[in-house]
Amino acid sequence: MASKRYEFLFSAALCGLLLSCGTIDRRVDPDAPDEVGGPNLRSQDIRAMADRMAREIRESGVLRSSDPAHRVSFHISSLRNDSSDPIDRELILLGIRTRLQQKLGRQVRVLDRSTEAVEEIREEKAAKRAAAVTANPNLAGALAGSDYVLKGTIKDRTLQSDELRSVYYVVTFELTDLETSELVWSGVYEAKFLSEKSVISR
């Protein structure tokens, strides 16, 4: 009787061991805490940051124009990474631009001033002027000027002891009036991570 019980326990333990060897591959909520770990800005930070900045810019009312014939235009120039972790800037910048466009709709003119976009526009315009391709006369016009520019900086403060490491991220965004150079809006997003080194780490 006792040997049967042990047989069962061993089988169960072995099954448990084998099951624990499996891997995971499932869809997760991008706002859910990241199980992978590491002191890096994660999907939830990037989404929260983009959401907050877009909301704060909209609520500040800076980009609203009282004259419906002249919409306010702005473009996003850069996000400088001064931290010690490389990041794909486009992830954050495109997130903010898309959310602003969605929330403000046709109230503002969001300009694409990326090098690639400007180059493409130049080439297409040149082709139209040379009649190499057809042109829509209703959509002809000069390259739009920008009223405001949005730019940002990612900074971090990393502290490291033998077994602990903390990383404090500060991401700031600023909206500058391109006529007066006045800083008309600024926003900040902060996150802090603490990691403990394991005894098995070298």
Per CB under 8 A, residues contacting other proteins are 2-3, 6, 9-10, 13-14, 17, 20, 36-40, 80-87, 158, 160, 162, 165, 195-202
CB of 186 to other proteins, least distance (A): 20
Dump strand ranges (E) for the chain: 72-81, 108-111, 148-160, 164-177, 183-196
CB of 91 to other proteins, least distance (A): 12
Q: Do 81 and 87 form a contact (C-beta atoms < 8 A)?
A: yes
d(CA 86, CA 81): 7
Q: Do 82 and 73 form a contact (C-beta atoms < 8 A)?
A: no
Which one, 13 or 28, has the nearer CB to other proteins? Answer: 13
Residues 6+ apart with CB under 8 A from 100: 54, 57, 58, 63, 108, 110
Which one, 180 or 201, has the nearer CB to other proteins? Answer: 201
Q: Do 73 and 146 form a contact (C-beta atoms < 8 A)?
A: yes
Which one, 9 or 133, has the nearer CB to other proteins? Answer: 9
Which one, 2 or 131, has the nearer CB to other proteins? Answer: 2
CB of 101 to other proteins, least distance (A): 25
CB of 80 to other proteins, least distance (A): 5
Is residue 152 classed as helix, strand or coil in its secondary structure? strand
* CA nearest to 188, candidates 148, 144, 155: 155
CB of 90 to other proteins, least distance (A): 11
**Which two three-digit tokens encode residue 125?**
């315009």
Which one, 18 or 130, has the nearer CB to other proteins? Answer: 18
CB of 12 to other proteins, least distance (A): 11
Which one, 29 or 162, has the nearer CB to other proteins? Answer: 162
**Which two three-digit tokens encode residue 31?**
């706002």
